Amino acid sequence: MRSVVLTANAGSSSLKVGLVQWPLARFVGTIEIDQIGSGAELIVQLPGQRPGRSPIAIPTVSAAARFIARWLTKSGLSPSSVRGIAHRVVVADGYHQPVRITSAVARAIARATARAPLHNPAALAVIRVFRRVYRRATHVAAFDTAFFAHLPLRARTYAIDHRLAARFGLVRTGFHGLSHAAASRFAAAQLGRPISSLRLITVHLGAGCSVTAVNRGRAVDTSMGFTPLEGLVMATRPGDLDSGVVLHLLKQGMTVRQLEALLYHQSGWRGLSGVSDDLRVVLAGAGIPVRGWQSKRRFSAAARRRCRTALAVFIYRIQKYLGAYAAILGTVDAIVFTGAIGERNPDVRRRIVRGLRLPGQPRVVVAPTDEQFTLIRMARRLMS
């Protein structure tokens, strides 16, 4: 390979690096480290082969980036042959379109950390490691918020004092945009129809979860808002929560730092179940086997009840959003599942759609978790 472009997608608990032959934009492979910090797993995917999986001790995203860089070099990919790297970045105030990463861009990503504390620091960590290793490469940031840049006013506006909202930029910007955009295009290809004719609900389920209503290729509403806390129940985040709960906890003496830890790290199905932020463990605790995976954990009767509750709340919240977005769209051509859970767990998908009555009798489409070509498509002009 004379020239390769990499994609770097740092999630809240994973790092996925894609290799794309340049300038043909031909898929070469992916290297992913999942569950960073707790039972990490290395997943290598090459064309035409089953994914190779092996356990690995990786404590941080920075360590994951260094490991992948070394792995690529040992596999024959010299740093000088990497032409560019397209980095997925969740949010940076003032940026929607892809930009070359400069010190000013990096500072803007850092300033937006309060809006995405699980993601922006991870993205910055990968950017720092890869800019040191791949010094000759063009580094481009592509932003998750781009897909939601044109949300209707009614969907992006919070009902708070307009002066305060304007002063602090308090609007709903959405997240997981690269994933929802890729899922929409995949669904159009599967249905054999132009995306401009379709009304879709895309459902991204992973450690972070979100739902988006897509009308003729454009996002018209999405479950996440100013931060990735809003919306669905997630691995460690609660999703929709009465703001009065936050006020009540503040009045009870909880500090802002404690509240942040609660909302970002101790809620979701981890908080509900009390056992894990890995949905596979929660499913096992609820008595639901996971294909190709076996839990070694033993559960008390109380833990099993909590796991069943966590799963029920998780699925119910998704169903509520599906119904709401069906009402907004008027009819639905397809429900499109993506993300690690949405793609790989058919039992969860079945439980979500079981008994649903949505207008249009939508098809269920499973889209591969493939944000790399969306990244390349967004960043290509800056790398040419």
Catalytic residues: 144
Q: For 142, which DSSP code?
A: E
- C-alpha angle 262/267/271, rounded to 5°? 115
Of 285, 246, 280, 279, nearest to 264 by C-alpha is 246
CB atoms within 10 A of CB 355: 7
Residue 52 is which amino acid? G
Helix (H) or strand (E) holding 45: strand 41-45
**Are the CB atoms for 30 and 38 separated by under 8 Å?**
no
**Are the CB atoms for 34 and 11 separated by under 8 Å?**
no
| CA gap 325, 211 in Å, rounded | 9
| CA gap 299, 308 in Å, rounded | 12
| CA gap 26, 5 in Å, rounded | 10
Dihedral sign computed on CA atoms, order 42, 375, 95, 226: negative
Return the beta strands (E) in 182-275 as ranges: 199-205, 209-215, 218-222
**Are the CB atoms for 202 and 325 separated by under 8 Å?**
no
| CA gap 308, 3 in Å, rounded | 50
Q: For 293, which DSSP code?
A: B
Helix (H) or strand (E) holding 273: helix 268-273
| CA gap 149, 157 in Å, rounded | 13
Q: Which residue has the tokens 């954990």?
A: 297
Of 108, 129, 146, 148, nearest to 15 by C-alpha is 129
Residue 169, CA atoms < 13 Å, CB-side half-sphere: 10
Helix (H) or strand (E) holding 139: strand 138-143
Residue 189 is which amino acid? A
